Amino acid sequence: MNGDFLALLPRREAVTAGVGTHGSSAPRLEATTVFAFHCADGILVAGDHRATAGNVVFSDTTEKILELDSHSLMAIAGSPSVALEMARTLQTSFEFYRRSQLRPMSLAAKLRALSRLLRENLPGTLQGFGAVAPLFAGVDASTRKPAIYFYDPLGAQFEAAAYAGSGSGSASVKSVLHYLETWGPHPATMGISDAVNLANRLLMTAAEFDSATGGIDPGQRNFATLKLLNSDGIRSFSQAEQAQLWQEGRR
């Protein structure tokens, strides 16, 4: 016995044949990379557009920043099919609560709802085909302040003081954000134009060191998926808006 629980699962037939911890003949479809950080105008949530299956680029048009209601966002990394189903379930739950109770669901209740879905997904996580590592951004109704949360596969939630990231390229993103938080310029003090350009540069950096991360191509007007969350709601940034901010930032 070497203490490796996941390695023990195939021998106890707890993992589906062909989908073990030591590889699979059918590569899993995965979405990478997403991150969020505080800026002067709220929380900026960003993601690339790439989904991969092993070493194959499955799609470069994947939307990973999902609006759950007017004041909450979910950024997905891992299995897109499972994550999208979780998002649809949350959207329905939040809207049903709002209509039936005549008020929005509290931020704490929203966080618990996502935790419950992650716990229910544990069999898929252990079998290696349904792991999801989401980020959640929401606004506390009592303080009207936005907050960032990240999760472990069992559904435990953790609040991020300044930033969070998930997916295969997130290590590079978090390294740069840690540097900026420590030595400046601090992202939390950046205006929206600087924050948008920072997000795109972070994706360019991640793509340099992670082949599963789709970078950006300013020449083709191909930028990140970007959404800003604050007490006023959610603002999406189109490719044209980002291209304009990119050009202004280079002057």
Active site residues: 32
Q: Tokens for 213, please give them.
A: 């991360």
Q: Angle, to 10 degrees, between the axis of helix 170-183 and the axis of helix 192-209?
A: 130
Cis peptide leading into residue 185 (ω within 30°): yes
**CB distance 190 to 198 below 8 Å:** yes
CA quadruple 12, 18, 24, 28: dihedral, nearest 10: -100
Q: What span, in angstroms and rounded, lies between the C-alpha atoms of 191 and 196?
A: 9
User: Dihedral of CA 204/206/210/211: which sign?
Assistant: negative
Q: What span, in angstroms and rounded, lies between the C-alpha atoms of 82 and 80?
A: 6
